[in-house]
Structures are given as C-alpha cells and as structure tokens.
Chains A and B, each alone.
Chain A
Amino acid sequence: MKPARFDYVAAASAEEALEALAQEGGNARILAGGQSLLPMLNMRLARPTVLIDIMGVDEWRAVDRDGDVLRIGAAVRQVALEQDPDLARFQPLLAAALPWVGHPQTRSRGTVCGSIAHADPSAELPLVLVALGGTVHLRSRRRKRVLSAQNFFTGMMSTAREDDELIEAIALPKARTRTGYAFREVARRHGDFAIVACAAVVNGVRAQLAVGGVADRPALCELPAPGAAGLDEALDDFAWSLEARDDLHATARYRRELVRRLGRTTLEEAVRCRA
C-alpha cells in the first residue's frame, strides 16, 4: 500500500504554486495537510504526476478576522482554529463542528481548505461552509474568483474548481447577534464520517438547517423556526427531498429519520444558544 511515483514541488510563494499548477493542470494535486489526499495516494486511488506543497506559502497561513468575515487561508491547519480560544465567539458553528472532524491526530495536519477542496459529502467543514453561506476564494495564474459555497460544491467529491485553480482561502461570516448556531452529528463511531450531520443557524423567525451525509453534497433548507407552525412537515419534505441512499452503515430510511429528528433537535439547540 504505497503511493505511485510523483514529482514534488514545495512552493515558496503563491506565484510559484500557481505557476506549477498552470503548467500541470489536472495531473497535479495540491498537497496541504494531506489528510484526505495521502490515503488516496497510498491506495493508489489518486495518481497525480506532481504534488504541489503549499504549506510553505506564508500568505496562505493567515486567519484574517478583520471585518465581518473570518478568512481562513489555504495553509491553515484545523488545529490552529481549534486551539484559538476566541473561535467560539467569532464563529460558534465552526467551533462546534471542528471536534467532529477526524481525530486530533489528523486535525493537527489537516487544513480547513483541504477538507473543503476534497468535498466529501459527509465531511463536517463543507457542511459548515454551506450552513453559514460562506465563500470559496479560488485563484489561478489567470484570475481570482469568489464562489458561494452552494455554487462551489457541484456533487460527490466534485467542485467548481478548475484544473489550474486552487482554493486560496475560504471566508465565513462571523457570528451575528441574536443568532443561534448548533451542530449535531450521528456517526457509527466518534471520528467517522457522518451518517447524518446537522448544522443549524436560527435568527429570529428565520431558521436554516444544513444537512451532510445524505445527499451528494451538503444541502441547505430554510425552515419555520422551532415553535412556528409547519416545522415537522417542512423537515419531512426536506428529508425526502435529499433522496437518501442505503449503504453499508445506514439505510435511506434511517437517514431520513435522523434528518427529521436530529434536525429538529439541532434547530432547538440553536434557538437555545441564541445570545
């Protein structure tokens, strides 16, 4: 179980990384923390001809909190945010979801943007990005562009990123006043990919629920706030609309049931957390 051969480029600057990417295109993969990519390399599921290591790019190592968004650079490891004592204040949903991402031993290496780029439909960080309406900042030698989370994720492990582009950063809105956030997940074991993960954002009468692990990408739905009429019906419609599938670990029906029940619990928790 060893990787096939590849060249390795340690980019020292954004320009170097983008130049290499422009040259190699689809045959290259960006190596950040490597926690999603290395298993695929070891199993020879992925066979890039070159890896472009971006962890040496200083400008991508920053977490920028100025303004009303939290901008997280491509080389920011998950642990850096997890250990930030102010994170829960700046963005409580991200703070609640991070401990569910793999294990401490993978969060120590894995990056936030890497998980977004991988676009696993059960992963927590893409779910958070969608739930918060965050943005993905793509950059190539040609151009920079910003996509909404909804437009970035196009399907199972598929994104709108083009071959010569990389995620330079993601941006999440900071916590808003009178808004409650909550995250809940059911997995077979702690640290496993979610069977169903729910992220709720409740603000006044507006309630949003994002669900991961069910459809081919995180799905977002606007629902009546807990206490308002029609929540159960709306959750039921949402559950059915996701077209859940059976797999080894759970049935479609179980997933729908969790969307209804866990979804409600998560929304209720978000209401309670509304400061």
Chain B
Amino acid sequence: MDVTADEPRPWLGRSLPRVEDAALLIGRGRYIDDLGVPPGTLHAAILRSPHGHAEIVSIDPTRARALPGVTAVLVGSDVQAHSASLLVGVKAPIECWPIATDRVRYVGEPVAVVAARDRYVAEDALDLIEVAYRPLPAVIDPRAALAPDAPVLHPGLEGNLASDRVFRYGDPERAFADAAHRVAIEVDYPRSACTPIETYGVVAEYDPGLDAYDVLANFQGPFSIHAVIARALKVPGNRLRLRTPPDSGGSFGVKQGVFPYIVLIALAARATGRPVKWIEDRLEHLAASTCATNRFTRLEAAVAADGRITALTWDQIEDCGAHLRAPEPATLYRMHGNMTGAYDIRNVSIRNRVVLTNKMPTGLNRGFGGPQVYFPLERLMQRIAHELGLDPLDVIRRNLVPRGAFPYRTASGALLDSGDYAAAMESALLQGGVAELIARRDAARRDGRLYGIGYAAVVEPSVSNMGYITTVLTAAERRKAGPKNGAQSTATIALDPVGSVTVHVASVPQGQGHRTVLAQVVADVLGLKPAEVRVVTDVDTAKDGWSIASGNYSSRFAPAVTGAAHLAAMRLRERLAHIAAAQLNVPAVDVVFDGGRVQARRNRDNALSFARVAAASHWAPGTLPSEADTAIRETVFWTPPELTAPNDADEINSSLCHGFIFDICAVEIDRVTAEVRIDRYVSMHDCGRMLHPGMVAGQVNGGFAHALGAALLEEHAYGPDGSLLTGTLADYLIPTAMEVPEPLILHHETPSPLTPLGAKGVGEGNCMSTPVCIANAVADALGVADVSLPLLPARLAQQVHGPEKAPRGKTPVRPAAKEAASERQLFGEGEASVDAPATTIWAMLLDPNALMAVVPGAHAIEKVSDTCFTAEITLGIGPVKGRYRATMELSDLDPPRALTLTGSADGALGFGRGTGQVTLREEAPGRTVIGYRYQAAIGGKVASIGGRLLDGAARVIIGQFFASLARQAGGGGRPAGLWAWLRRLLGFA
C-alpha cells in the first residue's frame, strides 16, 4: 500500500517543543523517588566494604537488629539462601553475587542490607553492624593483575584472567612483513562514568502466595537483564514484574547497573514481608554503581610510505573490576566489527583479554567501548603522520573508507551502511575554519605560546546486535549455546473509544524526548497533530510488549524504535483506510489521512473525522469490512535482518547503523598554570536523517560535555591498596558551565538505507571522538608523543614548566615531600626531646595504661599479653571525629633503647595500620631524645571522601600521639614549647 509515498511529513524533522517539558519545568516530574509507596514500606540502607580486598572474618548484626525501627538486616548468607549467582557472560568458574559472601573485592561492595522505618534509622543501624575483616593484598592495574604472583580475586579462576581470545582477519602477518613502517602506541585508558544526577532507585514487593516479585526501578535496559534478575531470584520470568517510572533523571548507560540492587532489595522485601525502597546516595553511586572499563591497549600499524595503513594489530587488556557483571565483557566486544574505525584496512589481528581487579564492576556507559578503541586508533593516526613526516589530515584522507564503497563490510564483519566520509571531512575542514586555526597556531608559536590542533575521525555504531557479545565465545561454544542475534524493537499503538491515539514503547527514555519524537512520527502517519498523540514510555513487563533488546542503549531510539512506531502506525492506518474506504465509497488506496480527517484522495470534501474512523472498531465491530480486521491496537516488533550472529570466522556485524564524525580541536595551554583552554571545537556529524534537529544538537552537546569531562577532569581513581580516591563530587570532578565551551556542530546527512526512517544514532559519538581529539590537540601543542587522560594540568606541567631546579642549599627538604602521588602509604620521622630518663619512657611504652593514656580519647584498655594491648579510641581532626577499635603491639624489644610499635585502628570512618620504629637516646642525664620513623596506610570512608586532606590529617594524628607521649613522659616539662617543636618536626611549622 503506497498511500504514504507522496505525502509530506510535516512534523518529523522539525524541532518542536518537547511534550515532556511542561511537567518537568514546574516540578511535577514523576521520578522514582516522587512516586507514592504502599503504607508500611521500609527503607533500605546498605553497609559497604571499606576495603579493596579482604576476607570477611565475621559479621555481627545483633545490635543493628535490636535498634528500634529496624525490621531486618540481611547479610551474604541470607541472600544466598534465596537466590542464585548472577549469570556471568564468559565460560569461567566465577560467581557474581550482588553482596559480598566470604570476601569483599572492591571498596563499596555491599556487605549487609538494613530495612528500617526510614532512611535515617537505617543508616543508624549500619553504624551498629560489626564486621571483622582480614585485609588481603589488592590489585588495581590490569597488567599487574596478569602477573603470576598477583593477588587472585576469585580463587576458582586461579588467576585473574577471565577470557583470552585471539582473532585474525585477512593476512596481517604478511602485511606487517611487507610494510615500509611499523608504528605502535600504548595506552592506559582510565575509568570514568557519566554519573547521572538522579541516582539508582528500587522499590520491591514480594507476593509469597505466588512466589512473585514486583519491582519498580529506574532501570534503563537492556531487558535481557530481566532474565538475569529472574534467574538470580529463582523465579520464572512471569514472576518478576519489572516496571520503570515515567521519568528518569539521566542514565547514559549507567542505570543498567541498578540490576544487582534489584535482586538485593527484592530479597529484602521477601525477608521482611513488606515493600522495601532504596534510593542510592551519591557516595554509594561513586563507589559502587558502575563505570566504564579502563583498558590497556597496545596497537601497532603496518604502514606504507605514503601513510596508507595495511594492517592493525590490537592487544587489549580489559579491566572489568571485581566481578564480571552482565553484560560484560560487552564493552570489549561492542566495537568488534569496528576495530578499523573509519578506515579501509583489510588485515587485522586482535587479542582480547578480560581481567578482574579490585575495583568497582564495570558496565554500560555512554560511548560503550568506543572511547577505549578510538583513543589508541586516533592517537596512532597522529603518530603515523608525525613519524612519517606527513600532514595528519593526509594520513586520515588516504585511509578513509572511500566514497562509493558503501555499504562497506569491514575486515571484522561490520556493515557500514552509508556515508561519504571524505566529503564530510572536507566540509568540516572548510566550515570549521581549519586554515584559520593553522594560521593562529603559527602565530601563537611565533610568540612562544603553546597552541595545538587535533583531529579525530570516528565511526559511531548504533543499534547493537544482541549477538555481538557471543563473539567472546569460540565458534564451538556458540554452537553449543545456540545462536544469539538481532535487535527487536517494539511499539504499540492503541485507539480508544473516542478515537484518540496512544503509543506505548519499551524504549525507557532518560531525558531524550522519546515522547515528543514518537508523537511526531505517529502524527505524520495518521494525519494528526503531535499534541493529539499520547505517548507512554514507562514500562511494565507484565503488560507491555518487550523483548530482550528493549531499553535505552546503543543509541537505538532514533534508528530502531521510531521505525517500529512508524511501522505500527502504518499498519493501523492501513486498517483504518479500509474502514474509511467503505464509508467514503473509494478504494482504500485512495484514502488520505490529513489534518485530523480521513479523506478521499480525489475529493477532499468526501471525508470523515479521524476520531470517528478510529473509534469504529470499539463501537461497531460488526459493520467493519473484513480487510479492516479490528483496528484497536497494533503492536510491531521490528528487527533488522542485517544483524546476524557471529559466523565461524568470528566476523560480526556488531551494530546496525554507522554514523560518521569528524572532529577538530584547537587548544592553547597556559604557560603559567598548564591549564588547557579549548579555543575552538568543531564536530561534524553524519547521523543519517535527523528526526528532531534540536534534540540532535542536545545529544551532541551533552555527549561533548561528557567527553570533555573524561578528557580533562574525571577519573575513578584508586590507590594501590584498592582504596577509592574519588568518593565525592569534590574529587570526582564533573564539568560545570564554566568548563564546557560550545562546540560548532555541523551535519552531513546520508540517510541509513537500513532503518525505516533513515535515522542513525547520534548520542554517543562525541564520547568516542572528543577525548582523543582533545588529546591530539594537546600532544600537538606540547610536541609530545605520550598524553594520558585525564589531562591534568599537574601532569602537563612537566612539559610546560620544564625541569625544576633543586632547592637552594639553605632550605632542607624532608624526605616525605618526595612521596609519589598515588601512594597511599604515609612515611614520616621525627624526634622529641623529653625531660625524663630513658628507662622511664621505656617503662611507659611497656605499660598499657601509660601507653594508652598517651593516645587522646583512649579508654576500655585491655592487655592481651605483655606486648599487645587493645583499646577503644576516639580520633579526629577538627569536627571529624570517629571511634575506633585499636590494637597496639610491641616487638623487637631492645630495652631501653629501641622497639617496634605496630598499631591498627578500625572504625566506621575507616581504618589505619602502621608500624613505627622508636629509639630512645639519653643525650644528658634525665633527658632523652625519642626518635621515631613510621609508615602508615589509611583507607576506608575517610580515604574515599577526604582524600584531599587525609595525609595531612593522619600526620596530625600520628604527631598527636608522639607529642602526647613526650608530654606524658616529660611530666609537663615544657609542654607548649615541646608541642611546637614536635609540630615543626612533623612538618607543620
């Protein structure tokens, strides 16, 4: 039926105001925490590991359970009693629980769940749960995790390597043998996340009669995870009703990671017999939601003399954190068809290893796998130009997939659906004013300023093939598991008895304006105004049409979901055309839908109101023509045939659509502060047909800001002991309006032939192109080969400021000042002179009461043995005070000259361990010099949220101890002067 062929689309393609906005602007959004809950709903709080790696020796929730207002406390064994391990996506003997069972493997890992009257009381109860840990060595670097002597996270696995696969396409060995040049690059791509401003939320209920769970969560999909959750809860899929709220406060992939908490809170509801609600707080989010993978990559190219690349060799070591959580290792395989980027390179070899480390488990994050691939690839393009003495633009030009080659099958199996990369690039260079930027750079350099220009060419995949992740399995394993492929998208259009139109989709928007665009799509087909079309996007798996591919990820809305809605509207219209045809006395093919009326094509006055035709199936089904069937509700599932399973050669069309981006970045680096200022950023996009240009711009600007953050500011940083260093928004730095410049956005449209409306994804591309484009500009400005993210001024300062002269002789430098930035170990030394004989001080050190009197706030001292004491102590700096259980042990006794003092303290705020060598030297009768050297390590909450101040604070506390020791021993000799002197020794004068 071709009634659409010659009709204009008056709504699609226009930047209409969004239907979502009116409610959001007056504070009437309906996010998960805004919705009512049943009477009696309990509120959950989660106790989390302060250690990067430790054995749980014991958990005692007795005091917490006894707190008035607390209904239940769940620990690992309670969770294991009623659930199964989360599915793991590789063939390896590892389990994945949503809560620690016998050991903790990252800071923030859940250890216990409290359900209480309100969140305040629930957090009070957390303070009362007593957990004894035995710390284990941690490993946080992916390469270090592969070392034979590395600490092992999952004993069943023997090492930390969860997957190791080698791929070969074309004849890379020959290409390398024949190549004029080989150029290689190594990259450590750091961790970051898109940190939505709304955190995770779950409300769960359990029906014991049905053994069924009803869960509301701001989950974003993919709904393949529904199967994972149901399996973990040990119920069939129809006993897990999963609903999403009408509004969600951003996700960018991250809210896929709520699913382990769905399991936990569902089990808490089961345990308490009450609905349980949990809203994640920001500290929980930064420590234990999810983030993108960090990855080590070695990439080498075989290059001809003219810069043409004939082969690539990838060696990727992917760090998925402490657990391989579904759908990981998908980050590593999402780009598998696109490992040659925008370039025509026929020979590729790839080695992919997946390792586990003591960090937060990774998951979906905007750009998913793209930033980690394009950073090495586009840095390599710049290095090739540099090493061969070529213009970087020429190297890009010579390698781009040529115009006219589309659809183009890449070496590893992706089908690049459409594009004209060269034309888009040349247009970007022209419109973006590259000639002017180069002149500006020349002028700046003449003035001794640091100015650089970078480029990046990127293919942006969208609409993921649900089968790409199986590329991690061997062909034989895939045959055994059965084929996985496709990407079902779904839309339902319903007509009610007054003929108004409602669209339901399972696209789970988190701010992308799906309701607006779908109203435009359907209004166009049915000849209505968008305002007349109601779109409902909250999902209920018990009622709605959905599939494993449903959800909001891989930029699938514009290319796929709108297509499904379009197809559903077309089908419904065809039926309505038959209904109208009978009444208008024209053939159905001559029925036109326009302006809220259904008309005869050749006589527009021969018409019915749309509402009358649309309501007919409700009121008079007996009079409908047989071709019309019933026109009340139409559901369409659409999956593109191009998304096939990986073949035996491991070729995989990992995504349906492939947009193209060409970015230009010009930066100047401040000579004084080494700060990077973006002078101009140009981003050329080919995202196929633009359905709503205003939203396209919003997606590009938003993705650009995320990428700018990843390039300049953001990193989930860990200390070598596994401590989390970025536990607050004062340390995990999200760009503000002051940091984000406005990019110049350009477009070059080549519609996709593979999607119903010609659209491609556009939301993720800048997360792939922008970090490396900025890095290329910075490398150009500084003339260096190595740049690593985030581009901290303090790192760039090495190049900007040049070598530092040693201090002039008269200013001594304490050894402590030389500590490395990442070391959580604290070293120090000092001396104190005391008016007391050495034997007095010695006696004090060996007397628990005297020793503990030295520690401010110590009480409840117990002598375990002659050389071992325990106590409760209160330590603090300024308002930050906490209670700790402390032990102190003396060894290497050499009376009255030397001993070693080993101490530890554990409390709600964190833990510390240290060793000090104490020497006593009588410099005059009755006058002793106490010398000490110590090394200490601090971790836990204080490390995560007070890192900036921690070392200094610890130093103060250690200083307080020795000052107090001297004061006690000196019997009040010269307290003030001694205090001041000690402080100076400790470095605080």
How far is the CB of A46 from the nearest CB of chain B, in Å? 4
Beta-carbon contact of B948 and A247 below 8 Å: yes
Residue in A closest to B121 when the chains form the complex, CB atoms: A2
**Residues from chain B with Cβ under 8 Å of A240 in the complex:** 807-808, 811, 813
* Contacts of A23-77 to chain B: CB distance below 8 A: 29, 37, 40, 43-48
Residue in B closest to A262 when the chains form the complex, CB atoms: B672
How far is the CB of A187 from the nearest CB of chain B, in Å? 10
Interface string of B272-283 (1 = CB under 8 A from A): 000000000111
Beta-carbon contact of A243 and B814 below 8 Å: yes
Let me know if A143 is at the binding interface, CB within 8 A: no
**Residues from chain B with Cβ under 8 Å of A158 in the complex:** 877-878, 956
Let me know if A246 is at the binding interface, CB within 8 A: yes
Let me know if B739 is at the binding interface, CB within 8 A: yes
Beta-carbon contact of A192 and B797 below 8 Å: no
How far is the CB of B624 from the nearest CB of chain A, in Å? 59
**Residues from chain B with Cβ under 8 Å of A120 in the complex:** 949
Known: A40-B879, A48-B879, A246-B820. A253 touches B983 (CB 8 A): no
**Residues from chain A with Cβ under 8 Å of B730 in the complex:** 192-193
Beta-carbon contact of B792 and A45 below 8 Å: no
Let me know if B130 is at the binding interface, CB within 8 A: no
Beta-carbon contact of B881 and A47 below 8 Å: yes
Beta-carbon contact of B794 and A190 below 8 Å: no
**Residues from chain B with Cβ under 8 Å of A254 in the complex:** 674, 793-794, 797
**Residues from chain A with Cβ under 8 Å of B882 in the complex:** 45, 47
In the bound complex, what is the Cα–Cα distance between A247 and B792 (angstroms)? Answer: 12
Let me know if B725 is at the binding interface, CB within 8 A: yes
* Contacts of B758-805 to chain A: CB distance below 8 A: 792-794, 797, 801, 804-805
Let me know if A275 is at the binding interface, CB within 8 A: no
Let me know if A5 is at the binding interface, CB within 8 A: yes
**Residues from chain A with Cβ under 8 Å of B127 in the complex:** 4, 44
Beta-carbon contact of A237 and B947 below 8 Å: no
In the bound complex, what is the Cα–Cα distance between A248 and B949 (angstroms)? Answer: 11
**Residues from chain B with Cβ under 8 Å of A188 in the complex:** 713, 733
In the bound complex, what is the Cα–Cα distance between A156 and B731 (angstroms)? Answer: 18
From A5, A119, A157, A250, residue with most partner B Cβ within 10 Å: A157
Beta-carbon contact of A250 and B794 below 8 Å: yes
Beta-carbon contact of B953 and A156 below 8 Å: yes
Let me know if A229 is at the binding interface, CB within 8 A: no
Beta-carbon contact of B879 and A46 below 8 Å: yes
In the bound complex, what is the Cα–Cα distance between A122 and B948 (angstroms)? Answer: 10
In the bound complex, what is the Cα–Cα distance between A14 and B68 (angstroms)? Answer: 37
Known: A251-B821, A254-B793, A262-B672. A44 touches B948 (CB 8 A): no
Beta-carbon contact of B952 and A190 below 8 Å: no
Beta-carbon contact of B810 and A237 below 8 Å: yes
Beta-carbon contact of B817 and A245 below 8 Å: yes
**Residues from chain A with Cβ under 8 Å of B119 in the complex:** 2
**Residues from chain A with Cβ under 8 Å of B594 in the complex:** none
**Residues from chain B with Cβ under 8 Å of A154 in the complex:** 983
Beta-carbon contact of A156 and B952 below 8 Å: yes
Let me know if B923 is at the binding interface, CB within 8 A: no
How far is the CB of A260 from the nearest CB of chain B, in Å? 9
In the bound complex, what is the Cα–Cα distance between A253 and B799 (angstroms)? Answer: 12
Interface string of A227-265 (1 = CB under 8 A from B): 000000100110011011111111111101110011001
Interface size class of B (residues with CB under 8 A): 35 or more
**Residues from chain A with Cβ under 8 Å of B881 in the complex:** 46-47
How far is the CB of A177 from the nearest CB of chain B, in Å? 30
**Residues from chain A with Cβ under 8 Å of B949 in the complex:** 120-121, 156-157
Known: A47-B881, A155-B988, A191-B736. A186 touches B956 (CB 8 A): no
Let me know if B297 is at the binding interface, CB within 8 A: no
**Residues from chain B with Cβ under 8 Å of A249 in the complex:** 731, 792, 794, 948
How far is the CB of A175 from the nearest CB of chain B, in Å? 27
Let me know if B945 is at the binding interface, CB within 8 A: yes
Beta-carbon contact of A186 and B725 below 8 Å: no
Let me know if B186 is at the binding interface, CB within 8 A: no
**Residues from chain B with Cβ under 8 Å of A253 in the complex:** 794, 797, 804
Beta-carbon contact of A189 and B713 below 8 Å: yes
Residue in A closest to B950 when the chains form the complex, CB atoms: A247
* Number of inter-chain CB pairs below 8 Å: 163
Let me know if A274 is at the binding interface, CB within 8 A: no
**Residues from chain A with Cβ under 8 Å of B281 in the complex:** 1
Let me know if B673 is at the binding interface, CB within 8 A: yes
Known: A156-B949, A261-B672. A4 touches B282 (CB 8 A): no
Known: A43-B283, A156-B877. A248 touches B817 (CB 8 A): no
In the bound complex, what is the Cα–Cα distance between A194 and B738 (angstroms)? Answer: 16
Let me know if A82 is at the binding interface, CB within 8 A: no
Interface string of B734-747 (1 = CB under 8 A from A): 01101100000000
**Residues from chain A with Cβ under 8 Å of B673 in the complex:** 186, 258, 261-262
Residue in B closest to A37 when the chains form the complex, CB atoms: B879
Beta-carbon contact of B878 and A252 below 8 Å: no
**Residues from chain B with Cβ under 8 Å of A48 in the complex:** 879
**Residues from chain B with Cβ under 8 Å of A193 in the complex:** 730, 948
**Residues from chain B with Cβ under 8 Å of A192 in the complex:** 730, 733
- Residue of A216, A237, A248, A250 near B726 (CB, 8 A) is A248
Let me know if B123 is at the binding interface, CB within 8 A: yes
Known: A2-B119, A236-B807, A258-B673. A45 touches B942 (CB 8 A): yes
Let me know if B880 is at the binding interface, CB within 8 A: yes
How far is the CB of A268 from the nearest CB of chain B, in Å? 12
How far is the CB of B985 from the nearest CB of chain A, in Å? 12
- Residue of A43, A189, A256, A258 near B945 (CB, 8 A) is A43
Interface string of B810-829 (1 = CB under 8 A from A): 11011011011100000000
Residue in B closest to A3 when the chains form the complex, CB atoms: B120
Residue in A closest to B739 when the chains form the complex, CB atoms: A189
Let me know if A118 is at the binding interface, CB within 8 A: yes
**Residues from chain B with Cβ under 8 Å of A246 in the complex:** 819-821
From B675, B805, B956, residue with most partner A Cβ within 10 Å: B956
**Residues from chain B with Cβ under 8 Å of A156 in the complex:** 877-878, 949, 952-953, 956, 988
In the bound complex, what is the Cα–Cα distance between A216 and B988 (angstroms)? Answer: 7
From A188, A190, A195, residue with most partner B Cβ within 10 Å: A188
Beta-carbon contact of A4 and B880 below 8 Å: no
- Residue of A118, A191, A245 near B952 (CB, 8 A) is A245
- Residue of B282, B284, B878 near A119 (CB, 8 A) is B878
Let me know if B496 is at the binding interface, CB within 8 A: no
**Residues from chain A with Cβ under 8 Å of B908 in the complex:** 44
In the bound complex, what is the Cα–Cα distance between A255 and B732 (angstroms)? Answer: 20
Let me know if B544 is at the binding interface, CB within 8 A: no
Interface string of A161-197 (1 = CB under 8 A from B): 0000000000000000000000000101111110100
Beta-carbon contact of B880 and A157 below 8 Å: yes
Beta-carbon contact of A190 and B736 below 8 Å: yes
How far is the CB of B101 from the nearest CB of chain A, in Å? 26
- Residue of A121, A190, A248 near B947 (CB, 8 A) is A248
Let me know if B909 is at the binding interface, CB within 8 A: yes
Residue in B closest to A1 when the chains form the complex, CB atoms: B281
Residue in B closest to A233 when the chains form the complex, CB atoms: B808
**Residues from chain B with Cβ under 8 Å of A44 in the complex:** 123, 127, 908-909
Which A residues have a C-beta under 8 Å from some C-beta of B? 1-5, 29, 37, 40, 43-48, 118-122, 154-159, 186, 188-193, 195, 215-217, 233, 236-237, 240-241, 243-254, 256-258, 261-262, 265
Not counting A215-B988, A261-B801, a sample of 14 additional A-B residue pairs whose C-beta atoms are within 8 angstroms of each other reads A1-B283, A155-B956, A156-B878, A156-B949, A156-B953, A186-B673, A192-B730, A236-B805, A240-B807, A247-B951, A248-B947, A254-B797, A257-B797, A261-B673
For this complex, 9 residue pairs linking A to B, each with C-beta atoms less than 8 Å apart, are: A45-B945, A156-B956, A186-B673, A192-B733, A193-B730, A237-B808, A253-B797, A257-B797, A262-B672
Which B residues have a C-beta under 8 Å from some C-beta of A? 119-120, 123-124, 127, 281-284, 672-675, 713, 717, 725-726, 728, 730-731, 733, 735-736, 738-739, 792-794, 797, 801, 804-805, 807-808, 810-811, 813-814, 816-817, 819-821, 877-882, 908-909, 941-942, 945-949, 951-953, 956, 983, 987-988
4 closest residue pairs by CB, A with B: A157-B878, A246-B821, A254-B794, A1-B281
